[in-house]
Amino acid sequence: MIAKRYHLNKFQIISHAENTIEDILKQCKQMDEHLFFYKSEQWSVAENLEHLSLTMNKGWLNLFTPKIILKWKFGKPTRPSYSYEELVQLYYQKLEAGYETEKRFIPVLTEEKDAKQRLIARFEQITNKYLDQVRYYWEDDTMDQFQVPNALFGFVTIRELLYFNLFHNTHHYKTIRNRKNEAIEFSTVD
């Protein structure tokens, strides 16, 4: 027997996204500036946040594009949307195959006065626009009818775009927590 694909509905997607975004913002706002910008061989918390801003902004631009333009430019999906779990599995397969982040999504930061507050405000503004677009422009029955290009997967349905951003934000939230702990550990004077 083939298992039926389970899809998160619009309200589950929004709720999960809001909770993760709130957790990211809370972590970043409470963090001391030197921990926020602490750099090791991995991206700093600040760089992770900027990376999320870059990817979420691209997602917002896709969601903001009028549906008739999406259909005209990218055509109709040729397959059913992947479930959240299937998309996450595909993500890890792409990483294992050697996928590297496109240059346009690699954060470039300078530590200037008020840089932390500006990065946080930028992420907050972009995620608010993104969530508003999902809330007021997309419905469950249309998420599977439109597709957009994605650097990692090729074409994805709007539902898959939303799933990707859910997973991607959660993945980087965990990374942000780890970077914070690493920064605390290595910045503590013995």
Tell me the domain boundaries of the chain.
12-32+41-185
Taking only the tens place, the pLDDT of each residue in 2-17 is 444 678 899 999 999 9
Would you give the distance in Å from CA 14 to the centre of its chain?
13
Instruction: Indicate the fold that domain 12-32+41-185 takes in CATH.
Output: Four Helix Bundle (Hemerythrin (Met), subunit A) (1.20.120)
pLDDT at 190 over 70: no
Please state the pTM of the whole predicted model: 0.88
Closest among 44, 9, 11 to 115, alpha carbons compared: 44
E strands in 41-103:
none
Taking only the tens place, the pLDDT of each residue in 62-118 is 999 999 999 999 999 999 999 999 999 998 998 888 877 778 777 777 777 788 999
Residue 150, beta-bridge partner list:
154
pLDDT at 28 over 80: yes
| Residue 131, token pair as written in the block | 């969530």
Residues in the chain: 190
Residue 149, beta-bridge partner list:
155
More confident residue, 100 or 139: 139
| Cα→Cα distances 145→72, 84, 141, 189, Å | 12, 17, 8, 56
